[in-house]
Amino acid sequence: MSTASECIFCRIVRGEIPSTRVYEDDSVIAFRDIQPAAPVHVLIVPRRHIESLHSLTAADTDLLSALVAAARAVAEHEKIVTDGYRVITNIGQHGGQSVAHLHFHVLGGRQLGALG
């Protein structure tokens, strides 16, 4: 696992790596994925380094609310609310998590296949 100082998402949060931001507040930032899996593919990350959703504790209720509110704001900004969209977070290697920093994917802009 990488440390917060080496984490690519932490570096994006700090502005060391450029990104196309579409939303930000005191707790989270949202930016376009550089390898989009759909016409709209935005990543939402907390400003604070947290490994995954499973790493959250009861003390992180406000952060979880901020992440969900950001997903809603991104969907509205990207105009994908009417047709629908997907919000995903992956946890661990078998769950498909490629960066060990909590992040939500907001996907939309086309018909998405069913899961499971």
Q: How many domains does the structure of the chain reveal?
A: 1
Rg (CA), the chain: 14
Contact 45, 67 (CB under 8 A): no
Considering the domain boundaries, does residue 116 fall inside one? Answer: no
Residue 54, sorted as left (phi over 0), alpha (psi -120 to 50) or beta, turns out to be alpha
Q: CA-to-CA distance for 70 and 24, rounded, in angstroms?
A: 8
Residue 45 has a pLDDT of: 98
Considering the domain boundaries, does residue 60 fall inside one? Answer: yes
**Which domain, by its residues, includes 17?**
8-108
> Whole-model pTM?
0.93
Q: CA-to-CA distance for 47 and 105, rounded, in angstroms?
A: 16
Specify the amino acid at residue 95. Answer: G
pLDDT digits (tens, 9 = 90+) for 74-87: 999 999 999 999 99
Residue 4 has a pLDDT of: 65
Of residues 49, 101, 103, 105, which has the active-site annotation?
A: 103
Considering the domain boundaries, does residue 1 fall inside one? Answer: no
Intervals of the chain under pLDDT 70: 1-4, 116
| 103 is annotated as an active-site residue | yes
